[in-house]
Amino acid sequence: MKTPWWFLSKNPVSLLLVPVSWVYYGVGRVVYFMRSLHPLKSRRPIICVGNILAGGVGKTPVVRAIANRYGAPVVMRGYKKSSKTGNIGDEATMLARTGLAVHVGDRKSNISILNRQDDDTPIVMDDGLQNPTIKKNVSIIVFDEGLGYGNGLMLPAGPLRQPKRMARHADAIVVIKNKKPKRNFVLPAGVPVFYAKNQTTSPYDENEKLVAFAGIGYPKKFFNSLKNVVARRSFPDHYQYTGEDLERLIALADKKKAKLITTEKDWVRLPVELQDQIRYARLETVIDYSFWVWLKEKLN
């Protein structure tokens, strides 16, 4: 689904949904307690990278950076699997394209299998901070400085999966810098905070006119990272594009005498026959060197 418009500021709709969010949180805590009774303790260190907001923060490029650094396998659910992504999900496909070993499905089972290998490298868990069935050695929360805590309310009144005070239980926080930081975005004291910068690389010359489209949590972030965008179209997160959608986008680009561009996560969901015609802008997250020093010490 598209990120609800009320997630970013308090308004009558979000306030009306607050009682529902109390029920959501209460039920979630009961389920969390029941699932936490017998957690799996991995032989290999588990580095869990997640967020307390529902999607769109920029977690996957951080996962990619850490996994590449250590030559580590990645375990993940493989959200929104489809035949277009080999039934492993768009984020998993995106990670696997860089040569990473990605294990999709039940994370507990996959970690058990990886523990039987003759290998001591860490295992990177994409998401799962709210999953108590696996004991983590390092828990990292990712925030986007431009989103902060959104409107500060819990689902479905706001984007928070957990109350923002839960951030203090992380081992570290990675904040992706933004030109327009969210006001009143205050991080918990006592938790190491490291900063990162997103670098979006377009395959086109900056004078080329672009029609940009994206089906991600916060498509505006993607649109704002590009130059010379003459039209933009947003779709729900993990959206499966139909032939009709793509025909309309191609017609729009022809009308504007522009090139179509999308995110890498969207691109892997496109039909193979269109992947040469529609290109993607690569997103890379560069994390401060001090983070890598901290992580090495933490693992040791």
Residue 193 sits in the same domain as residue 173: yes
Amino acid at the residue 127: D
Domain of 190, in residue numbers: 12-199+286-299
Q: What is the pLDDT of residues 23-52, one digit of tens each?
A: 999 999 999 999 888 899 999 999 999 999
C-beta of residue 178 within 8 angstroms of C-beta of residue 148: no
Same domain, 191 and 221: no
CA atoms within 13 A on the CB side of 17: 21
Is 2 part of a structural domain of the chain? no
- pLDDT given for residue 75 in this prediction: 96
Residues 190, 143: Cα–Cα separation, whole Å: 17
The predicted pLDDT at position 55 comes to 78
If asked whether residues 116 and 234 sit together in one domain, one would say no
Q: Is residue 4 part of a domain?
A: no
Percent of the chain with pLDDT over 90: 81
Verify that 191 and 207 share a domain, yes or no. Answer: no
CATH number at residue 268: 3.40.50
Residue 246 and residue 146 in one domain: no
The pLDDT of residue 71 is above 80 = yes
Q: What is the pLDDT of residues 167-179, one digit of tens each?
A: 999 999 999 999 8
Identify whether 248 is part of a domain. yes
- Examine residue 64 and state whether it is found in any structural domain, yes or no: yes
Q: What is the pLDDT of residues 118-127, one digit of tens each?
A: 999 999 999 9
Q: Are residues 172 and 129 in the same domain?
A: yes
Average pLDDT of span 9-18: 95
Average pLDDT over residues 191-206: 94
Q: Is the pLDDT of residue 81 over 70?
A: no
Position 10 scores a pLDDT of: 93
CATH number at residue 62: 3.40.50.300
- Asked if 61 contacts 285 with a C-beta cutoff of 8 angstroms, the reply is yes
Are residues 165 and 294 located together in one domain of the fold? yes
The tokens describing 235, both together, are 């779709």
Rounded CA-CA distance 33/207 in Å is 55
Question: How many domains does the structure of the chain reveal?
Answer: 2
User: What are the pLDDT digits (tens) for 208-266?
Assistant: 999 999 999 889 999 999 999 999 999 998 899 999 999 999 999 999 999 999 999 99
CA distances from 115 to 12, 45, 110 (A): 50, 10, 9
Are 178 and 264 in the same domain? no
